């Protein structure tokens, strides 16, 4: 599979399963309605794991523009490929959100709260505060990026275990689960521009019953925050534990 196509497919599956669990919890008359934050964080963790397993062999399974830019910043990825990766990830986010809309097609009209509907696509802060929300997204992605780099460091894996490569997607899923449980409360932990902006675009253009506005005033925070967090984490990790190019 071509790397850009892999990033598109992987991000699409990530958003389909991740935003799908949000829809299952938020929308009325679903089997999972009001099942809570633990279900959402667990669903996102498994969504990441499945998506990484699917395309890791083809593209490295970045599935996140912040991760792509962070890796390029420290020389672990070619800048010439960043644009293609990011475009594929954004398109995958839009496609995945569209599939969520189709999967829950009859439930949108049953849900009267437009904020709940928007929450099936993109994030909104629990307490709107530009500085605080931006800091939260930076910290969350900083932790995620550190975890990804640690998982990619060969010395952190037992060399004699033949299944060590197969463990990496599970460990990334665990990292996302941890970030969601510990740091997701203030902003919903986008930690991924493609996971938030792509579905937000889908929310804006799809004919969703009772959807309300798409929250564009907040939309830059889940883009800028994760990118800043990933760059800082990558530089921090490389400074403390120099990584061979």
- What span, in angstroms and rounded, lies between the C-alpha atoms of 219 and 65? 15
Burial of 159 (0-12, 13-18, 19+ CB in 10 A): exposed
pLDDT at 196 over 90: yes
- What span, in angstroms and rounded, lies between the C-alpha atoms of 130 and 125? 9
User: Would you place residue 14 in the very low, low, confident or very high pLDDT band (cuts 50, 70, 90)?
Assistant: very high
Q: Residues with Cβ < 8 Å from 205, sequence gap 6 or more?
A: none
User: Would you place residue 165 in the very low, low, confident or very high pLDDT band (cuts 50, 70, 90)?
Assistant: low
Name the phi and psi angles at 157, rounded to 5: -115, 145
pLDDT at 152: 79
The domain in which residue 86 lies consists of 3-240
pLDDT at 24 over 70: yes
- What span, in angstroms and rounded, lies between the C-alpha atoms of 4 and 10? 10
Our count of domains for the chain comes to 1
User: Would you place residue 17 in the very low, low, confident or very high pLDDT band (cuts 50, 70, 90)?
Assistant: very high
Flag whether 245 is in a domain. no
- CATH number (domain holding residue 221): 1.20.1080.10
pLDDT at 245 over 50: no
| 162 sits in which H/E element | none
Flag whether 208 is in a domain. yes
Q: What is the pTM of this model?
A: 0.94
């Amino acid at each position: 599979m071509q790397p850009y196509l892999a990033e598109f497919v992987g991000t699409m599956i990530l958003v389909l399963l991740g935003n799908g669990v949000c829809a299952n919890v938020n929308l009325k008359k679903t089997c999972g309605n009001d099942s809570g934050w633990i279900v959402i964080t667990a669903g996102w963790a498994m969504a990441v794991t499945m998506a990484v397993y699917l395309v890791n062999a083809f593209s490295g399974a970045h599935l996140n523009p912040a991760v792509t830019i962070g890796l390029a910043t420290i020389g672990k990825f070619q800048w010439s490929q960043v644009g293609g990766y990011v475009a594929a990830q954004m398109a995958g986010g839009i496609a995945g959100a569209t599939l969520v809309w189709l999967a829950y097609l009859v439930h949108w009209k049953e849900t009267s709260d437009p904020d709940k509907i928007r929450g099936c696509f993109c994030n909104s802060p629990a307490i709107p505060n530009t500085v605080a929300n931006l800091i939260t997204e930076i910290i969350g992605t900083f932790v995620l990026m550190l975890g990804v780099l640690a998982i990619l460091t060969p010395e952190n894996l037992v060399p004699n275990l033949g299944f060590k490569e197969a463990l990496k997607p599970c460990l990334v899923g665990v990292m996302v689960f941890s970030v969601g449980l510990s740091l997701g409360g203030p902003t919903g932990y986008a930690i991924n521009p493609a996971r938030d902006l792509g579905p937000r675009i889908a929310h804006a253009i799809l004919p969703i019953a009772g959807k309300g506005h798409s929250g564009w005033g907040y939309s830059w925070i889940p883009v800028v925050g994760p990118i800043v967090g990933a760059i800082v984490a990558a530089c921090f990790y490389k400074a403390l534990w120099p990584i061979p190019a």
